[in-house]
Structure 1
């Protein structure tokens, strides 16, 4: 583990998040790291190294890094459901899966209206057990992050998996490249990044439907990717660096990160006050004076 100086660039006085003045580099041997998820029951972080088709495991108790799963279906985004089970987006098999507590795998979604999904990218689980995910084409554009293939669906959409029936519903169909997504702490708003258009949209959640979808903020630099929310409702977004936005869309602060691009972030640690950051070939963390929302 190595240490890198770090300091927030603050643009709005409403940002009052204290924390470490350094980043810890936990891993730096990947090709394109993504999809971090913290597993509190074991105190470890899982993340994807997509082009190498593997999932990695960083152990918080001793700092060791090991291969968790390989091959891994070119997994990208991950989250946990309310039972602590791992929910994953697989570029390679073009599906959303759940790893059961006994280690077996259940396919939750691989088709919509009888057609194969593009390559599910990122995923969140609501408190009612419904699973919401984005489906851009990155895993089928080439063999780098999956398997080159022709799309079967007429675009890149956002979907919801019903917790009772397992039905896959399309809930948003006007994105170019839907990517990271995150619920507000009260689950009344779902934020979704459109990487190609360089902005984040805010939808009102009304039962099974998304309403509105106004642009909340534009990317200051780079392309928006993964998103997370803290307990104050602030939006933490991955792009060229890590950016923090107020719920009204105002840019509050920026955390510069080594390397060309940040792909995703997640809050973890026993108190959910450690921000884990996947960035190109590396994974970093920083201890903050705020806590992540429990809605992963």
Structure 2
């Protein structure tokens, strides 16, 4: 019997009828595919009995991990059949911004409320505090020179950690106004740096509210100076949402306006840099507009860096469930991997994978809401998933595009 399908004996029509509903148990005959019994009805939420993902968990007894779910046959060539999802670590308050350092062979990610960054070492799985305080950092990535790029909620800026250990402020204002709370960041192959600026850091848990009278603290009832450096206390939200580009000369340009994408969150570039994907998530602190609708937008990027032709790439609906996107990454084939926040729809949080045309290919089911993803590992084929309190990983049969 062929192992090329997650359905393990299902026809394409049968597989599509089970989209998003989990893995089916099969009774395998001794010799031939025609001896395989009809699959049991798959579960719609979580594996039964509930599995543990931790280091002391029982071994995964399935050839295909039951929480790696193919929706389209094309996903079978992207997922690795004999590779289990593993929880590498747990203990965060809200894990975000994973990025892979190829030279050091480690993963760095943010625990925003705890105000530090963490590091997972590939050689022995050791986890330690990498940077504290982190200024409530959110998104991280590494540029093509191996320098870490970081978005900081608290200081409302984007920074670069240089190879000599110094820190460069890449952007903290646009046309004289402070940013809201830069969220995610990525380098284009032309050397420019793109980042999103929603207002999510304007709250106690993930940064600091506005000073009295600001949109996220209009009545001044919250003392935003408590526990913060003195210079933080007078900051207020000064402008709307946006997506920005930092040119190689340091010029900061707003490329996408709030009217085009509300609450821009995660972002990534296609492998050739010709397309920019932006996740649009829900209302943030101080927002008065409608707010993002949990969609992913796609924009064409011209040679001069201009973003145009913005369209909804996917509404992130799966089986009638909104799998709200956050962090985004492309693989080398141009498929988009998006973290999924399905709220209380247990079994739909994790990761969704979409073709370059916007068709759902498959998804990865996690027991926690997933905030962000990246590809890493020595071969850049491991999908790391920063999910609520934990860090997960699963090997794939593809590679991430560009530096993590």
TM-score, normalising length: structure 1: 0.96
Counterpart CA distance in 1 for 2:237 and 2:388 is 29
Partner of residue 241 from structure 2, selected from 153, 156, 174: 156
Q: Is the counterpart of residue 168 in structure 1 residue 252 in structure 2?
A: yes
TM-score (norm 2): 0.71
Aligned positions of 1:84-103 closer than 5 A: 84-103=146-165
Counterpart position of 1:15: 75
Contact 1:135 1:158 in 2 (8 A): yes
Q: Distance in 2 between matches of 1:163 and 1:183?
A: 17
Structure 2: gaps (5+ residues): 1-53, 215-235, 283-292, 341-348
Cα deviation, residue 14, structure 1: 2.0
Alignment partners' CA distance in 2, 1:176 and 1:209 = 19
Structure-2 residue corresponding to 1:210? 307
Report how many aligned residue pairs link the two structures. 293
- Whether the 8 Å contact between 1:48 and 1:54 is mirrored in structure 2 is yes
Q: Report the 3-state secondary structure (helix = DSSP H, G, I; strand = E; otherwise coil) of the residue aligned with 1:225.
A: strand
Deviation of residue 152 (structure 1)? 3.5
Name the SS of the counterpart of 1:200 in structure 2: strand
Q: Mark the structure with the bigger radius of gyration.
A: 2
Residue matched to 1:104: 166
User: For 2:238 and 2:354, how far apart are their aligned partners in 1?
Assistant: 33
1:22 CA displacement: 1.7
Aligned position for 1:237: 338
User: More relative contact order in 1 or in 2 (CA 8 Å, sep 6+)?
Assistant: 1
Q: Which runs of 4+ in 1 moved over 4 A?
A: none
Q: For structure 1, which runs of at least 5 residues remain unmatched after alignment?
A: none
Query: Structure 1, residues 217-238: CA drift from partner, whole Å, max 9, x if none?
Result: 0122332100000011100000
Structure 2: distance between partners of 1:294 and 1:41: 14
- The equivalent of 2:25 in structure 1 is none
Per the TM alignment, residue 271 of structure 1 is displaced from its structure 2 partner at its CA by: 0.6
2:371 to 263, 268, 274: 263
**Contact conserved, 1:185 with 1:295, CA < 8 A, in 2?**
no
**Bigger Cα displacement from structure 2, 216-225 vs 187-196:** 216-225
Distance in 2, matches of 1:107 and 1:44, equals 24
Secondary structure of the corresponding residue to residue 324 of structure 2: coil
* Structure-2 separation of matches of 1:295 and 1:99: 16
**Which has the larger strand fraction?**
1
Say if 2:309 is the partner of 1:225. no
